[in-house]
Amino acid sequence: MIDFAGRTAFVTGGANGVGLGIARALLAEGCKVAIADIRQDSIDKALESFDNQEAMGIKLDVASRTDFPRAADEVEERLGPVSLLFNNAGINLFQTIDDSSFDDWDWVMGVNLHGVINGCMTFAPRMKARGLGGYIVNTASMASFLAAGAPGIYNTTKFAVRGLSESLRYSLASHGIGVSVLCPGLVKSYIYASDAVRPDGLKSEMKAVDSAAVERMEQLHQHGMEPDVIAARVLDGMRENRAHIFPHPEFRDELEELFGEVLADFRDYPQDPGYEQRTGFEKMRRESYRKGREAARSAT
């Protein structure tokens, strides 16, 4: 079981929503916490709300490959080596793939996927080199399992974060570093206002913001799960070293239904040439994957 006290945590998107909830929960466990966010006013407000002073804020565009190591160096110089990483920053664009532009792709992929990649590529090698173990939580979404027409690019990024996290979980297990993917449902957050932080360089092909739609989404998100509730469930998932952290239990039946539909798409075909050799290899691969899952469960 991971011991949180005394560790240094780096939380992206840490100045509001789930990230802020995680930061509060970590501080209560005796962690030192750095909250990274693109909104300086939100960082300032968050820091003012903390009773525990072992916290700092740093302005960061997670999509920037060059800014991430700079932020990491600054945090570690002040708070010590980071051994808890929460790649939580995310945005959304509520439209279909076929109705999107390349600017839309670059923006959403840059934050939701490249932000996670940049965090892992910055901190995972440092954790490995220090040999002190650690933990990485990558925020995906129930949208990493459940796709609809919209939000298409968001679904794409979250499916990718889920796959990235599973692969990373296996490769880091031998270093005593746990990895979980967080898959929340509706959250009380400001993700509906993502357009407010869209870079000017990625606005040339954007559609005019539908203020009425934003207002509707704002009302919907008011009924989302409280960030502090999600944060408590995240820490529980880390203590149990779960591959997936599902804070919203109401999705269980829907996933069971979906997985049933997926399995129903298989067909029993006659054996083709090469079947015996191919399935022999797959038997070895399956056993290797099973052992990998077992090793990952006992990593921390």
Residue 26 near residue 50 (C-beta atoms within 8 A): no
Q: What are phi and psi of 236, to 5 degrees?
A: -60, -45
- Write down the catalytic residue from 135, 154, 170, 192: 154
Neighbours of 114 (CB within 10 A): 20
As a whole number of angstroms, the distance between CA 186 and CA 157 comes to 17
DSSP alpha helices (H): ranges in 131-241? 152-172, 211-221, 227-239
Buried b (16+ CB within 10 A) or exposed e, 78-103: ebebbbbbbbbbbbbbbbeeeebeeb
Give strand ranges (E) for 176-276.
Answer: 177-182, 244-245
CA nearest neighbour of 33 among 6, 69, 63, 70: 6
The reply to whether 269 belongs to the active site is no
Neighbours of 285 (CB within 10 A): 10
Residue 145 near residue 160 (C-beta atoms within 8 A): no
As a whole number of angstroms, the distance between CA 57 and CA 43 comes to 6
Residue 147 near residue 121 (C-beta atoms within 8 A): no
Helix, coil or strand: residue 138? strand
Catalytically active residues are: 154
